[in-house]
Structure 1
Amino acid sequence: MSLYQTYVISFIHLSDDRNRVFLDVIMGFRTFLFGLIVMAAPSLVFALEPLEAVQLNVENGIRVLEDPQYQDDSRRPEQQELLWEIMQQTYDFREFSRRVLGSHWYKFSTRQRDEFVKIFSEFLGKFYLGKLQDRYNGQKISFLSQQMVGSSRAVVEIEVSWKKLKIPLTLRVTNRSGQWKVYDLSALGINAVSNYRAQFKSILRKETPRQIIARLKKKIADLDGKS
């Protein structure tokens, strides 16, 4: 499952008819990838093929979302924290961040890179996991195929049944220390890395790495203020 051109309503947001459709997919499905492709222990994932690892993680993630103990709104923060911990284990935020920044990655010091990855991933978690909790309503996922790209990368194809639509989604995964992790995903011809890279591009021309990090911190504070 997975979810993610020419439009920007604000920093890290989307618009335009085609992209609104895609945004809904993101909220319902890339949201899955950022929050659903989760939960397999590294020791278990080690021996799995990429497609098997994705399927195991997705199914376990769905169990967290469907667990009746979290249906009470008072336990929503607890559920989100669990999803966030799981998400950190199975999503390669560093690789995703590096690809989003492109050549600008090298303008960040080592310390700034680490901070950017930490803050950007926190933003993604807070933004998308909340959407995931709001919008998940039993979507069905079919696990279709995998294609190895060398010994440590693979492309996994899945399909999400959403209302009367069937949305094909492509996940790009890499093997980190024996664990398959998602570092990019695409749907409807648009991929997450390219989407975020386009949104950062104009900002990176005007702002320093320190300012970019400060901007993300403010975004997180704004999200916290709404919760």
Structure 2
Amino acid sequence: MIGPKVRLCIALLLAAALLVLAAAAWAGEPTHQLKSAVDKVLAVLRNPELRKKENKEERRKKIREVVESEFDFAAMARSALAAHWEKRSPAERKEFVQLFSILIERTYIGKIELYTDETVRYANERLENGFATVDTFIATKKGQEILIRYSMLKSGNDWKVYDVTIEGNRLVKNYRDQFQSIIRRSSYEDLVKTLRAKRDEG
């Protein structure tokens, strides 16, 4: 016969176990969502038809569709523009987000295309106050592992990427430094002209 104290101890242990399991499930959300997105991108990159040179635009279009659903371009653009964001009108902000998203997409896709045939390993995940970082490692055929770190934020029921660090280089920070330099040397208007020109390069 199990006494009241023993039953209480068992109940407490079960409750503690459930809390640990719940925490583990929560901790895995960013990684699970990211893995799903990366798997979709890799499926596109490894598609024999889409790998053909003549299908480059179709391949990149499909990758953009995945990236646009997983990246928070507004947050990235705001961070890249830093203090200058507050000085911009709603129309200016909208255009800047559009121009910046194109820039990020091309940079990210260009990097990812280099690792089409490599394997991806998901490592550390850190969660804090609605933010997360997920470390992924790409194992190259030469036996090297390349770190790609995704910084993510909670957005409703989903997690969105707001920065990517590739081989130690943070995309948003790098662009922030470039943008600040252009604005200091010239003006915000010249920065936008530069981004429009990059967009039109295709």
Question: Partners of 1:196 and 1:71 in 2: how far apart?
Answer: 29
Matching residue within 132, 135, 143 for 1:154: 132
Q: 1:122 aligns with which of 92, 102, 109?
A: 102
Q: CA RMSD in A?
A: 2.0
Q: Which residue type is aligned with residue 181 of structure 1?
A: K
Q: Which structure: greater helix fraction?
A: 2
Scaled by the length of structure 1, the TM-score of the pair is: 0.69
Deviations 1:72-99 (A, max 9, x none): 3222211111111221111111111111
Match of 2:186 in 1: 207
Compute the displacement of 1:127 (Å).
4.6
State how far apart, in whole Å, the 2-side matches of 1:206 and 1:106 are.
19
Q: Which runs of 5+ in 2 are unaligned?
A: 1-27
Higher relative contact order (CA 8 A, sep 6+): 1
Counterpart CA distance in 2 for 1:160 and 1:87 is 18
Structure 1 position 131, deviation (Å): 5.3
The aligned runs of 1:22-101 (5 Å cut-off) are 49-101=29-81
Identity %: 27
* One of 86, 90, 97 as aligned partner of 1:110: 90
Taking a change above 3 Å as real, the CA distance of residues 137 and 216 of structure 1, as seen in their structure-2 partners, is same
TM-score, normalised relative to structure 2: 0.77
Runs (4 or more) in structure 1 with deviation over 6 Å come to none
For the Cα contact (< 8 Å) 1:98–1:105, is it kept in 2? yes
Q: SS of 2:96's equivalent?
A: helix
Query: The residue matched to 2:49 in structure 1 has which SS?
Result: helix
Structure 1: segments with no counterpart, 5+ residues: 1-47
| 1:92 and 1:183 in contact (8 A); partners too | yes
